Amino acid sequence: MVRISDGQMSGTAFGTVAVHVAPESAAGGPLSRLRTGDPVVLDADQRLLAVDVPDDEFHRRAPATAPDSPSRGYLRLVHDHIMQADQGCDFDFMPADGAAQDLAPRSIPAGWHGGW
């Protein structure tokens, strides 16, 4: 079984899992454009995640509007400043010390459609 998510998972005992696909669906990320039955390619050895949907259809599925932003408080701070999972889920104004490790899939420059 293959599982793909933009969130956390627990209780996974077997199979291939790709989590923290970024940006997340709530931010209009790639998983928000998938539909039941879409062919998905996951090659763990090549670190490749792709969906086989025609370009025009994939772009048509883009969210029409951005999600509402909280107006104030801690939720606003999180909304505006927490980085995506592939960047460490930290505040953008408080990055960890040292050089960031490059964990990006090899095909990231191509965009998620057609190769992540």
Q: Which residue has the higher pLDDT, 79 or 14?
A: 79
The whole-number average pLDDT for the span 66-75 is 82
Closest to 90 measured CA to CA, from 102, 101, 78 = 78
pLDDT for residue 42: 83
- Give the chain as a 3 state SS string: CEEECCCCCCCCCCCEEECCCCCCHHHCCHHHHCCCCCCEEEECCCCEEEECCCHHHHHHCCCCCCCCCCCCHHHHHHHHHECCHHHCCCECCCCCCCCCCCCCCCCHHHCCCCCC
**In the structure, what pLDDT confidence band is assigned to residue 96 with cuts at 50, 70 and 90?**
low
Is 10 catalytic? The answer is yes
In the set 10, 25, 32, 107, the catalytic residue is 10
**In the structure, what pLDDT confidence band is assigned to residue 81 with cuts at 50, 70 and 90?**
confident
Which residues lie closer than 8 Å to 5 by C-beta, 6 or more apart? Answer: 17, 18, 19, 20, 21, 31
Give yes or no for residue 108 having a pLDDT over 70: no
pLDDT for residue 115: 46
